[in-house]
């Protein structure tokens, strides 16, 4: 009897080991197969799924290597370093050890190997490289930013930098709290998981654009309340900021299509949402819901194929870069203190300069072609203290119409007096001026601030309406 039991135990023991082995093999198999399913293939050639589990400590370390290497012979790319580890760990950064990254850096610095030679046999390296580039690709690079002048801290000066140009979504000096809440279940409407990151804070806290891009969606949504969606210029990232403040949710200069720069104030923290009725506070704890969606293919934008990633570690990484803001007591609007020049904004505007007038509240009858190179030069000239009249849209309209009347040049008085220019519409970005009087061939002049949408940005004429023929 005793012997029998022992044999039985022996068999059970072996069975247990076999089952563990088998399930481990099946698990490995499923894991490999599941990544394979997300890999691009010839017929469906885009990534179908990404789990973003890179820890903020690994991001910190890789970022520091990248920035430090800019003055060295061997340039290191932080996304490549992370993609190598992603491929090594199967995406699971709980396996991360500082030494693993240090070893890779050592190999690259020795110049005996390159990223290409090191990864040539790593089956999943290209997958992780594309996935992580899609998430982090707009974060690091060259840019210009204002800083306080050393001689006079009241003054600001522009400096060129290389490094992190993305910002934490909560403005500097405003407290918030958060925890890793991605995937937690929510019950409003129907049962679903939480596809974002909540940052608890005071109502009215300025919300800042993480990355530069354009406003793709704005308005009420029964889950998100007042929400704003900003698409990166490469169209791969959709940033979603929700539950914004009742009555005054957004920066008033914004509309669909507006360009925002990383660090700009886009709206204000609140507790709207969870209601089909517009402008309703139905969230108990005021917070920003921040979401980041990846779009490898436009078919993934809406519906069951959406990819939202866990932003908790990303937010911890972004904490080092917060945009300082100041309140305009007249408009109650918050504005950034230190402006940025992000090269991706210029590239986007140059590509779109021909249809730049499409965002106007009214469309001009005649478009005026814009040469962004000239506009940039003019802005630089104004920044250096020349031609301050370009900051005054009425003056810009007066000069424009005067030049149409006297194309050979203006001697003495302008043919259009300044008093005849009436501003019909004005925002940080757009102005429409009406020309009164009987001598003018132009009735309305349409202008845009193409470089900077604040007091220091020059106005450029992008179109006009001629006087109606009687
Ligand atoms: Zn949320």
Residues 77-112 pLDDT 10s: 999 999 999 999 999 999 999 999 999 999 999 999
Helix (H, G, I), strand (E, B) or coil at 193: strand
Interval 348-376 mean pLDDT: 74
Mean of the per-residue pLDDT values of the chain: 88
CA of 216 to the centre of ligand 1 (A): 20
Interval 239-245 mean pLDDT: 98
CA of 291 to the centre of ligand 1 (A): 8
CA distance 65 to 71: 11
CA of 183 to the centre of ligand 1 (A): 10
CA of 346 to the centre of ligand 1 (A): 33
pLDDT tens-digit readout, 168-217:
999 999 999 999 888 887 766 656 678 999 999 999 999 999 999 999 99
Interval 406-428 mean pLDDT: 86
- Percent of the chain with pLDDT strictly greater than 90: 71
Note the pLDDT of residue 203: 98
Note the pLDDT of residue 7: 42
246-260, 403-417, 447-461, range with the lowest pLDDT? 403-417
Provide the residue ranges of all domains of the chain, joining segments of one domain with +. Answer: 56-136, 163-341, 354-466
CA of 78 to the centre of ligand 1 (A): 29
Q: Between 205 and 347, whose confidence is greater?
A: 205
CA of 302 to the centre of ligand 1 (A): 18
pLDDT tens-digit readout, 46-60:
999 999 999 999 999
Query: Is residue 319 within 8 Å of residue 311, measured between CB atoms?
Result: no
CA of 287 to the centre of ligand 1 (A): 8
Note the pLDDT of residue 442: 94
CA distance 394 to 401: 11
**Is the predicted pLDDT of residue 433 greater than 80, yes or no?**
yes
The listed CATH number (2.40.50.140, 2.70.70.10, 3.40.50.1820, 3.40.50.300) that belongs to domain 163-341? 2.70.70.10
CA of 51 to the centre of ligand 1 (A): 18
CA distance 433 to 441: 14
Interval 260-289 mean pLDDT: 97
Instruction: Report the side by side order of strands in the sheet with 421-426.
Output: 366-367, 459-466, 442-449, 430-435, 421-426
Note the pLDDT of residue 153: 85
CA of 194 to the centre of ligand 1 (A): 6
CA of 142 to the centre of ligand 1 (A): 32
CA of 244 to the centre of ligand 1 (A): 12
Name the packing angle between helices 56-69 and 78-89 (round to 10°).
140
| 11-to-15, 20, 21 alpha-carbon distances in Å | 6, 14, 15
CA distance 321 to 210: 10
CA of 4 to the centre of ligand 1 (A): 59
Note the pLDDT of residue 40: 67
CA of 169 to the centre of ligand 1 (A): 14
**Is the predicted pLDDT of residue 64 greater than 90, yes or no?**
yes
CA distance 221 to 223: 6
pLDDT tens-digit readout, 279-288:
999 999 999 9
- Percent of the chain with pLDDT strictly greater than 70: 87
Nearest CA to 416 out of 429, 425, 405 is that of 405
Query: Is residue 367 within 8 Å of residue 352, measured between CB atoms?
Result: no
CA of 165 to the centre of ligand 1 (A): 25
CA of 297 to the centre of ligand 1 (A): 25
Note the pLDDT of residue 3: 41
User: For the chain, what is the largest distance between any 2 Cα atoms, rounded to a whole number of angstroms?
Assistant: 121
**Is the predicted pLDDT of residue 32 greater than 50, yes or no?**
no
**DSSP state letter for 218:** E
Helix (H, G, I), strand (E, B) or coil at 133: helix
**Is the predicted pLDDT of residue 132 greater than 90, yes or no?**
yes
Note the pLDDT of residue 437: 84
CA of 197 to the centre of ligand 1 (A): 5
CA atoms within 13 A on the CB side of 52: 27
CA of 312 to the centre of ligand 1 (A): 12
């Amino acid at each position: 009897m005793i012997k029998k039991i022992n044999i039985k135990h022996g068999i059970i023991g072996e069975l247990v080991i076999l089952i563990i082995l088998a399930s481990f093999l099946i698990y490995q198999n499923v894991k490999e197969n599941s990544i394979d399913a997300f890999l691009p293939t010839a017929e469906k050639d885009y990534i179908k799924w990404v789990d973003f589990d890179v820890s903020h400590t690994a991001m910190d370390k890789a970022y520091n290597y990248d920035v430090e290497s800019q003055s060295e012979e061997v340039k290191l790319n932080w996304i490549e370093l992370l993609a190598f580890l992603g491929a090594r760990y199967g995406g699971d950064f709980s396996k991360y050890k500082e030494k693993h990254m240090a070893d890779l850096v050592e190999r690259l610095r020795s110049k005996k190997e390159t990223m290409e030679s090191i990864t040539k046999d790593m089956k999943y390296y290209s997958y992780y490289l594309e996935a992580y580039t899609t998430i982090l690709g707009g974060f690091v690079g060259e840019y210009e930013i204002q800083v306080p002048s050393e001689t006079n801290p009241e003054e600001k000066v522009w400096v060129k930098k290389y490094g992190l140009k993305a910002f934490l979504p909560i403005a500097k000096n405003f407290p918030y709290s958060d925890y890793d809440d991605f995937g937690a279940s929510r019950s409003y409407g129907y049962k679903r998981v939480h596809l974002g990151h909540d940052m608890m804070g005071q109502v009215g806290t300025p919300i800042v654009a993480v990355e530069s891009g354009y406003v793709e969606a704005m308005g009420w949504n029964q889950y998100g309340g007042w929400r704003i969606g900003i698409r990166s210029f490469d169209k791969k990232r959709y940033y979603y900021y929700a539950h914004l403040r009742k009555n005054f949710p957004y920066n008033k200069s914004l509309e669909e299509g507006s360009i925002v720069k990383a660090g700009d104030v886009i709206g204000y923290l609140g507790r709207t949402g969870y209601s089909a009725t517009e402008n309703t506070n139905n969230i108990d704890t005021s917070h920003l819901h921040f979401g980041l969606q990846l779009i490898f293919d436009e078919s993934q934008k809406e519906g069951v194929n959406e990819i939202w990633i866990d932003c908790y570690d990303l937010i911890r990484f972004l904490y080092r870069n917060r945009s300082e803001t100041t309140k305009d007591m007249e408009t109650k609007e918050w504005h950034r203190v230190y402006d940025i020049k992000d090269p991706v904004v210029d590239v986007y505007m140059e590509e779109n300069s021909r249809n730049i007038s499409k965002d106007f509240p009214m469309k001009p009858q005649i478009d005026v072609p814009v040469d962004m190179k000239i506009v940039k030069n003019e802005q630089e000239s104004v920044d250096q203290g020349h031609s301050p009249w370009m900051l005054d849209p009425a003056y810009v309209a007066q000069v424009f119409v005067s030049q149409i009347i006297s194309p050979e040049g203006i001697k003495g008085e302008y043919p259009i007096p300044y008093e005849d220019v009436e501003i019909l519409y004005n925002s940080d970005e757009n102005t429409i001026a009406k020309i009164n009087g009987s001598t003018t061939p132009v009735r309305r002049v349409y202008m845009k601030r193409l470089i900077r949408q604040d007091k220091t940005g020059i106005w450029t004429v992008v179109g006009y309406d001629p006087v109606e023929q009687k």
